[in-house]
Chains A and B, each alone.
Chain A
Amino acid sequence: MKDLSKVNNPYGDDKVISQCSIFGMMNTTGEVFSGKEIITAIRNMHERGNGLGGGFAIYGCYPDYPDDYCLQVMFDTRANREETEIYLKRFFHIQHSEEIPTCPTEVIKNPPDVYRYFVQPKVEELHEIISDDDIVIRRVMKINTTLDGAYVFSSGKNMGVFKGVGFPEEIADYFCLEQYDGYIWTAHGRFPTNTQGWWGGAHPFSLLDWTVVHNGEISSYGANRRFLEMYGYICTMHTDTEVVAYAIDLLARKHGLPVDTVMDIFSPPVWEQIDRMDPDDRKYFEVLRSTYGPLLLNGPFAVIIAHHGEMVAHTDRIRLRPMVAGIKGDMVYASSEESAIRLVSKDLEKVWIPVGGHPVIARLKELAKDDVVEGGRELLKAEGMEV
């Protein structure tokens, strides 16, 4: 098994620590738009990164292959790619594949080769009943942990992650992102303190169509990681962002919890607040905290999490990392700095600093009655079953 933690975390520290700029924007009608604005916005926060990592996630960018999983994979060498392709062909029907177009620039040094594959899993290879999603996750993990010189950036349908070592605006230029269209875009500029920078280690982190861009250092990393390990997740990268991605996968996909509830698990109210709630809400939080307490994300963080249909901006409960949200018409923005939003959207209808631990959730209008919610929403009613 290859040791990704050594690649991503060469000094073998507890975890990779980085401080960052993050930005996200979504059109809640689902209308697509180009990367021009987000590149402008993230460039404006240049000082928050140090050139050791930048990346983007785009949703709705592959309308020609809406039902195929798009695996975006980086390779160190041609031999690595050929080996990986043999593996892919064994487990997937490849509908289409291509090298991801790039516009080489002077600043990007030693880029890996990045390819994309639109695939459908071959169910006939299996002797057990599992979902397509689980097959894809299993194979992606396998590639990431065992195949030399290959690493999967993203594996969702009709979405893609583009990332690398450089400032985010340089990565955008390199992957010609102005030419893509999507209805959700998220971006990340990175200031890692204990890694030289490795393309696979840049953000967004992704599992299926879930992506995470993250600014912060999760002090509960050790507790979160050991809990996830119990549910079969192997934290290969030794970075705190990885645990956020896996926690979302466990809670939202495997346990089927709505994203609002997942955020309540990450940053629940403190017990004194819970004690003052009405009985139904109190029950809800009591159950969440006592079941998923080990997934409380402690320490300073701000994240923008996205998957098809939803973009969520969220901070730790005492808001130790910045987050600003803004709305203009159908557009919803989230950013580390207000100036970046104002730069790309002049007259915002609303711009505000969300309360710590209160997620701002933007949703496609067709999916929800409110396209943007923050705090104050209705909580699920919790009902105990006899045991």
Chain B
Amino acid sequence: MLTAQLPEFNVDRDEDRCIQCRVCERQCSFDVYGYDVQNNVMIHKEENCVACQRCAVLCPTNALVIKENAYTYKQNANWTREAISDLKKQSETGGVLLTGMGCDKPHKIYWDHILINASQVTNPSIDPLREPMELRTHLGRKPDSLEVKDGKLSFPDYPKVELSTPIMFGAMSYGAISYNSFKSLAQAAHEYGTLFNTGEGGWPKELRKYGSNTIVQCASGRFGIDLEYFNDAAMVEIKIGQGAKPGIGGHLPGEKVSEHISLTRMIPEGSDAISPAPHHDIYSIEDLQMLIHALKEATDYQKPISVKISAVHNSPAIASGMVRAGADIIVVDGLRGGTGAAPKILRDNVGIPIELALAAIDTRLRDEGIRNWASLVVSGGIRNAGDIFKAIALGADAVYVGTPALIALGCTVCQKCYTGKCAWGITTQDPYLTKRVNTEIGTQALVNLLRAWSLELKELLGCGGINSIESVRGNRLQLRGIGLESWEMETLGIRGAGQ
């Protein structure tokens, strides 16, 4: 059938440079390239191009430039090119539009409207290269008070996890991402002393040696779950929602369920792995309380239990309920949180930015005097150490990063994860593609990322005359807003720049 779609990107090949080595053809997993043997030229099907840039990066002669197609409809602020092309796609297929990665709409990015303080004269800044600078973080419930009894300091011994830096890798399941990517995350978390999250797709046996650096998920599909799964991990997370698609579940198509994935998820090979939208045993807060306590029983009260929700309008009230239901850690994933596959309409329209949800939740828990009953972990749209510093100063204990970790592994945020054809070998199970992620190099890239961001966090602490991350946590006086309305600053609990 004739499509009314125009190619989104153009492949611009410099024929003088091209040596017809056919690297681009082999690298492209979207079938853009072909080779005309008779004329010895490369040919293109541009309509297939997703601008993942794999070919351009690997082309030995730099002959390729992948560009946005310059075509234009009549300028229209309402009927944008994206709006027209989405509508045409739907009229041709009659289906829900799918996409990958986080929301790409220009909703206000609050991180970019927040500025950080520094010391001048009245207090000295601290040089992190010469003085100790502490990022170590503990997650889990904290006692309300300590007590001296019979000359001893007595305290309720709540389970906790220790992180060398307040940065963890967020949930990405084996199945959604390739084995090599998954293993790289596990190894990097282990090497740097932080945690990675298995997501809901089970946990391969041979990776359990990294248990003290692993968070396992218990999601609505309950894949790969048994007693050992919980007890081998450092922490257990109940997944209620995800920022990219609040309120809906997931679907891993049967063709991706290989033998190893089937073993890991504990489902038959080739069968669809479906995660229902809600947990069918959690229809209310008291049901959540029961699951939290069931998991505490299953782990003999030795593991902190976290609950992950997506940031929605009444997150503060929900978070308060979760804490009172016994969650040791609450995780909130914002509007810009990533995904392997989500309906575009949900990804771009449902949920709220993490900055606002985070500030509102931290404030609410403090108002209720229960902030120390649970740690607060946030995710969704964090791009650099500055965002992390701001998140912690707004009140987070630590952050999860997903997309940044994938970018470190090669991802270029082309948003085509849902196709299963990721040319960078990350969100695919095709063995020809998955070997593109080398676990040794991948692990090193992830460790480098953690190291670089940790060093930058130390610089940010030092410039503010602070030598421990706990003195930044919730310290909103270190922040000022710029270009914000007063309701926004009120929600964030910060003053304006110059105030």
Contacts and interface: CB of A to CB of B under 8 A. Distances in A.
A387 B154 contact: no
A287 B466 CA distance: 21
A380 B470 contact: no
Interface-centre pick from B136, B158, B366 (highest chain A CB count, 10 A): B136
A271 B156 CA distance: 21
B475 interface: yes
B153 A382 contact: yes
Given A222-B477, A226-B366, A385 B156 contact: yes
A386 interface: yes
Interface string B453-472: 00000000000111110111
B158 A230 contact: no
A219 B156 contact: no
Contacts of A258: 148
B153 A296 contact: no
Given A17-B122, A287-B153, A219 B464 contact: yes
Given A287-B153, A290-B160, A291-B143, A223 B472 contact: yes
A294 B474 contact: yes
B460 to A, nearest CB: 13
Interface string A123-165: 0000000000000000000000000000000000000000000
Contact of A296 (B119, B151, B464, B470): B470
Contacts of B466: 219-220, 298-299
Interface string B471-499: 11111111000000000000000000001
B131 A318 contact: yes
A288 interface: yes
Interface in A351-387: 380-387
Contact of B123 (A287, A300, A381, A387): A300
A255 B158 contact: no
Contacts of B108: none
A345 B476 CA distance: 45
A256 interface: yes
Contacts of A284: 153
A271 B467 CA distance: 12
Nearest to B156: A387
B465 A290 contact: no
Contacts of A27: none
Interface in A174-206: 193
Contacts of B475: 220-223, 226
B477 A380 contact: no
A290 B156 CA distance: 12
B106 interface: no
Given A19-B122, A219-B465, A387-B158, A261 B153 contact: yes
A270 interface: yes
A217 interface: yes
B147 interface: yes
A381 B156 CA distance: 14
A276 to B, nearest CB: 13
A15 B478 CA distance: 12
Contacts of B122: 17, 19, 193, 217
B465 A222 contact: no
B146 interface: yes
Given A219-B465, A380-B152, A271 B123 contact: no
A289 B366 contact: no
Contacts of B468: 270, 293, 296, 298
A85 interface: no
Contact of B132 (A219, A272, A300): A272
Given A222-B478, A386-B157, A294 B465 contact: no
Nearest to A261: B153
A257 B151 CA distance: 10
A320 B473 contact: no
Interface string B396-407: 000000000000
Contact of A300 (B124, B136, B476): B124
B344 interface: no
Nearest to A217: B123
A15 B475 CA distance: 13
Contacts of A223: 470-475
A14 interface: yes
Contacts of A287: 146, 153, 155
B51 interface: no
A381 B147 contact: no
A384 B142 CA distance: 12
Contacts of A231: 369
A328 to B, nearest CB: 32
Interface in A220-251: 220-224, 226-227, 229-231
A243 to B, nearest CB: 12
Contacts of A219: 119, 123, 464-466, 471
Contacts of B371: 230
A123 to B, nearest CB: 25
Contacts of B138: 290
B145 interface: yes
A97 to B, nearest CB: 37
A380 B153 contact: yes
Contacts of B329: none
A14 B147 CA distance: 33
Contacts of B432: none
Contacts of B470: 223, 289, 293-294, 296
Contacts of A299: 119, 123, 465-466, 471
A288 B474 CA distance: 19
A231 to B, nearest CB: 7
B347 to A, nearest CB: 34
Nearest to A194: B122
B35 interface: no
B142 A387 contact: no
A250 to B, nearest CB: 8
Contacts of B47: none
A255 B474 contact: no
Contacts of B467: 270, 298, 317-318
Contact of B471 (A193, A254, A288, A298): A298
Interface in A249-283: 254-258, 261, 270-272
B348 interface: no
A300 B465 contact: yes
Interface of A: 12, 14-15, 17, 19, 193, 216-217, 219-224, 226-227, 229-231, 254-258, 261, 270-272, 284, 287-294, 296, 298-300, 317-318, 320, 380-387
19 contacts: A14-B477, A17-B122, A219-B119, A219-B464, A220-B466, A222-B475, A227-B474, A230-B366, A255-B145, A270-B468, A284-B153, A287-B155, A298-B467, A298-B468, A299-B466, A317-B467, A318-B126, A380-B152, A387-B301
Q: Pick the 6 closest A-B CB pairs, nearest first.
A: A384-B157, A222-B477, A220-B471, A298-B471, A222-B475, A293-B470
